[in-house]
Amino acid sequence: MPVSTPDAMEVRTRFAPSPTGYLHVGGARTALFCYLYARRHGGQFVLRVEDTDRERSTDESVRAILDGMAWLGLEHDEGPYFQTERLDRYREIVQRLLDEGNAYRCWSTPTELDAMRERARTEGRKPRYDGTWRDSEETPPSGVDPVIRFRNPLEGSVVIDDAAKGRIVIDNAELDDLVIQRADGTPTYNLSVVVDDMDMAITHVIRGDDHVNNTPRQINIAEALGARRPVYAHLPMILGEDGKRLSKRHGAVGVMQYAADGYLPEALLNYLVRLGWSHGDEEIFTLERMIELFDFDTINTSGSVFDSKKLDWMNQRYLQRLPNTALAAALAPHLTTLGIDAGPDSPTLAAVANLLRDRCVTLLEMAKSAECFYRAPVTFDEKAAAKWFVPATADVLEKTVARLATIDDWNAASVQGALEETVDAVGGGFSTLGPPLRLAITGGAASPAMNEVIALVGRDSVLQRISYAIGLCLDSD
């Protein structure tokens, strides 16, 4: 795949995931920050798939990444580029480094490397490659395919003015000669990423601070190639509640699982942008507002704890703000997943969604709550049924169904009037009628206002459900 040659002054960021699993929240936040910075500065956002680890990379993971990016609405301007389509370019660069004396072949075997590291530990030194073949004139062993190592500078230091973390200084003496090409001819991460950033003219590398240790190595390779150094911004890690890096054991899931669980992409983006970045006390940001405000100087320098309850709060705020038609459109796929058919003779989905919006945290929860509007319950809350589906309740429900059947103009106001008249007739207040009526109509012990629910469910279905519940009351004797 050809790589474009952009204007040297144009801001260009890249998101470069490895397709070895789903798009997790840490990756999604990195993609978001890259996207926001490019958009704010009128630049380009590049998507690059770093798939040279063929043993762990899968097409399924690639699809999960692309689906996650699309669901979040983080549209890339270029790509996706795949590193496996650029292997000839990496070999060309490795040969150039060899020709210019900036790389060399190394025949040390895994056993020899293990011995080097163990010897270093014993002597109190940092366990690493000791440069055996760096300037060796020995005859290479037969039958061993060499790796290619970068000839790292022995003196001086790498100074990184990190846009998020501040100045970082690493002595070159702390760095060994890393492998840039494996014995089978495939490039390593630190080589391919430098070549890609150089060829794609990436101006800003925004990534997690777990890459800080790679950065001085990559800078040295880039300088050996005469490449322009990008601005680096290393983001603090997202942490679990125990203060350790967020992982599956904390319940972390892929972005598309959040979609399946009924979170809105706008809410997840809003939550993620607040994990490591802030603008005063502002909590709710549209994507346009994020683009307007985002910059490196307000990135937090310490890790942020992923709080699922705060995400729930954020999602509920977004559900409450959506227009009825948009909320209904977002809810519809979750009803389909649950096998619920909101047909033309059923209550309008917009009306149902509007009634439930203040009671639900996710669209999936809303879809489950909406089921009673489209089909009669086949099971009932056990505790509530044991209390209310008893012979003494039958008379209350019989009076209710009789009064509801007389309504000419079926709406929430007329239903409320009929219920109030029934309560007056049976005595005991609405606490006598409300719980068994709610159980009969919805199957549960909690719901929005009953007059609103009954109005939406519709006359015929309501009367049938109450009549069925009366039978259950009488059969319980």
> What is the number of residues in the chain?
477
Q: Which two tokens mark 462?
A: 């309501």
CA atoms within 13 A on the CB side of 79: 27
User: What does the DSSP assignment read for 172-229?
Assistant: GGG----EEE-TTSPBPHHHHHHHHHHHTT--EEEEEGGGTTTHHHHHHHHHHTTPPP
User: Within its chain, how far is the Cα of 238 from the centroid?
Assistant: 12
CA atoms within 13 A on the CB side of 56: 10
Catalytic residue among 165, 248, 309, 383: 248
76-80, Cβ contacts within 8 angstroms, sequence gap of 24 or more: 76/15, 76/45, 76/46, 76/47, 77/38, 77/44, 77/45, 77/46, 78/4, 78/44, 78/45, 78/46, 78/47, 78/200, 79/46, 79/47, 79/48, 79/49, 80/47, 80/48, 80/49
Query: 1, 17, 14: which is closest to 189 by C-alpha?
Result: 17
The residues pairing with 78 across neighbouring beta strands, listed in sequence order, are 46
Longest dimension (CA), the chain: 106
Element (H, E) at 157: strand 157-162
Neighbours of 95 (CB within 10 A): 13
- For the question of residue 244 being annotated catalytic, the response is no
Where in the sequence numbering do the catalytic residues fall? 248
